[in-house]
Amino acid sequence: MQPDTIRWPAPAKLNLFLYITGQRSDGYHELQTLFQFIDRCDYLNINANMSGNITISPAIPDVPLESNLIYKAAMLLKKHADCPLGAHIELEKNLPMGGGLGGGSSDAATTLIALNYHWDLNVSQQTLSELGKSLGADVPIFIHGKAAIAEGVGEKLNSVSPAQSHYLIAVPSCHISTPAVFKNPDLKRNSKKLSHQELMSNKWTNDCEPCVKKHYPEVANTIDWLLEYAPTQMTGTGACVFSTFSHANEAELLAQKTPEWLNCFTAEGLNISPLRELLTTKNQTNQFAL
């Protein structure tokens, strides 16, 4: 067991484009989407212990312990590796929930990677990714830790290096359920599957956006306001939207101009996730197996 306390980052992601190219017989949708990380993160301060229990503080409002993706990830790994150890996890929650930024999936991925280290398990990255997939479609990209085009239902990953732009990210006040968007009859499901070269050079859009804009005026108003100043689109199944800039000060200037009803923050795009950066640094000093 590694008894040191480490502050592990769990970054958010953006879907720089998202196309739905079909639907499988089990209801899941075939996607082509481009993931990039941003420098806004949750942080998990983890202390391994001998108790055999997983404790998390503070609790997330309205999310019981057994439903917390951190707890689920820890229990899944503990069971998989038949590990008798426990851990206390202190969560610094900075990412808006249910906004298409993938915070819950990222917390789960960070938990799997971190406990694999603290409990000395040596589970492979591939296996962590497979375990993670059962918790959420976005967990594998956070384990992968590099910007990538995802295909299949989101599990086939090919690393790419899009421009590391600066973003203004707006958080509309509505909550959007991912399953509800995927069930909506208005959703465009027939985008043509494109080559990676075509995907990277075409204008980037999100197939979920027209349907979400139609049903959620808060999202429509936010996009319409921001479009006056910069290219703007939705991430994932919403509700968050992002405007893209070449320079940080352009994003900052617009953030200062936004009306009171528009809740936003600025962030930088990252092709290597802060979690992967931490692993690389620790690897170089031979502290980690992964």
Ligand X SMILES: Nc1ncnc2c1ncn2[C@@H]1O[C@H](COP(=O)(O)OP(=O)(O)OP(=O)(O)O)[C@@H](O)[C@H]1O
Ligand Y SMILES: C[C@](O)(CO)[C@H](O)COP(=O)(O)OP(=O)(O)OC[C@H]1O[C@@H](n2ccc(N)nc2=O)[C@H](O)[C@@H]1O
9 near ligand X (CB under 6 A): no
Residues 115-144: x/- map of binding to ligand Y (CB under 6 A)? ---------------------xxx------
Which of 2, 23, 55, 178 binds ligand X (CB under 6 A)? It is 178
Q: How far is the CB of 237 from ligand X (least distance, A)?
A: 6
Tracing tokens 């953006």 back to the chain, one arrives at 14
68 near ligand Y (CB under 6 A): no
104 near ligand X (CB under 6 A): yes
Which of 33, 68, 110, 243 binds ligand Y (CB under 6 A)? It is 33
Q: Please report, for the chain, how many H helices and E strands are present, in that order.
A: 10, 10
273 near ligand Y (CB under 6 A): no
210 near ligand X (CB under 6 A): no
Tracing tokens 């936010």 back to the chain, one arrives at 222
154 near ligand Y (CB under 6 A): yes
CA–CA dist 66, 277 (Å, integer): 30
Residues 193-222 that bind ligand Y (CB under 6 A): none
Q: Name, in order, each residue with C-beta under 8 angstroms of 112's C-beta and a sequence gap of 6 or more.
A: 73, 76, 77, 128, 131, 132, 139, 143
Of 47-55, 74-82, 103-111, 195-203, which part binds ligand X (CB under 6 A)?
103-111
- 42, 107, 138, 207: the active-site residue: 138
Is 13 among the catalytic positions?
yes
Burial call 181-192: b when 16+ CB within 10 Å, e when fewer: bbeeeebeeebe
Positive or negative, the CA dihedral 19, 212, 253, 103 is negative
Joined together, the tokens standing for residue 253 give 């200037």
Long-range contacts (CB closer than 8 Å, 24 or more residues apart) made by 59-68:
60/91, 60/93, 60/97
Which of 9, 102, 154, 172 binds ligand X (CB under 6 A)? It is 102
Residues that bind ligand X (CB under 6 A): 60, 63, 67-70, 97-105, 107, 136, 138, 178, 236-237
